[in-house]
Amino acid sequence: MSRIIVPRSSPIPAVIDEQEIGALRLLGLTPYEAKAYLALIRTGPVSAGKLAFYSHVPRSKLYGTLRGLEQKGLVHVAPSKPETFAAVSPLAVLKAKAEEISDQAAAGLEIVQKLAEEYELKATSGGELGLPREANELWHIDGRRHIYHSVGKMLWRAAKSVSYYATPAGLVRAYKAHADYLENVGKRGVTVRLLAQTTKEIRSVASELAAVVKIRRTAKPLGANFVCIDGRELSSWRTRLMTSMSKGRRQSRLDNEQVASWNVRESL
């Protein structure tokens, strides 16, 4: 894109190069700060009203933008009436920042190259870096009904331990689909650990499930649900709890997004 150098007396706004804006954003400026700074570089000292016109920054956003540039050391403010704003040389602040980013990128590239060499060395020496190749080690299941049926069969096979981690939505499903399984394996002497992220919306469900199995609560969000059986079988899946308002009352439901499960079993 061509650039137009705009004198202060010109009524034509400056054309800002998007590539330049992108570069300034990498150096820590916001899009509005980048536009205002580029306009100040090309127009020289101007009032806020003229700068809004030249830079295409909305007048309602301009003063906050200029204060941000001032805090970054990129703008001088002349205490005149009206206030006049002038750009500071990019060599004073931005050059050091650009050199710092360049050094970090160079160091990162060296690490990437080193890891690539290690990866290739491992691959050529016969090491395993990818997913298991045998179909009985890893498989994928779609559909909520199939997933919970598969997890139920895993729970039924449990002989020593069950580790069940559940999101709020997953805990609701665990109660509906697996409460009987969990109670049964507990009675058989299997060690059952249930860690769940509980919320106000599912407090009653958690209380009822706690009568079947001891629940350890956590405030940290869990990204997915998973069950590990005897340290040999693992199933992981995602589900989502949707909350809506109806007649002034909050209602929760499980949405119908597709969920998936990855199961790993020790080869016998």
- pLDDT values of the chain reduced to their tens digit, one per residue, 268 residues: 434 344 444 444 556 678 899 999 989 999 999 999 999 999 999 999 999 999 999 999 999 999 999 999 999 998 888 889 999 999 988 999 899 988 888 888 888 888 888 877 776 665 555 544 444 445 555 566 777 788 888 888 888 888 888 877 777 777 788 888 888 888 888 888 888 877 777 778 777 777 777 778 777 766 677 788 888 788 877 655 545 445 555 554 444 343 444 454 444 3
Exposure class string for 157-194: b at 16+ Cβ within 10 A, else e: ebeeebbbbbbbbbbbbbbebbbebbeebbeeebebeb
Q: How far apart are CA 238 and CA 176, in angstroms?
A: 16
Helices (H) then strands (E): counts for the chain: 8, 12
Cross-strand partners of 218: 197
Return the CATH architecture of domain 18-92: Orthogonal Bundle (1.10)
Same fold, 18-92 and 138-265: no
Residue whose tokens read 């202060």 = 8
Superfamily of domain 138-265: Endonuclease Chain A (3.30.870.10)
Domain boundaries, the chain: 18-92, 138-265
Q: What digits encode the pLDDT tens for the residues 96-151?
A: 989 998 888 888 888 888 888 887 777 666 555 554 444 444 555 556 677 778 88
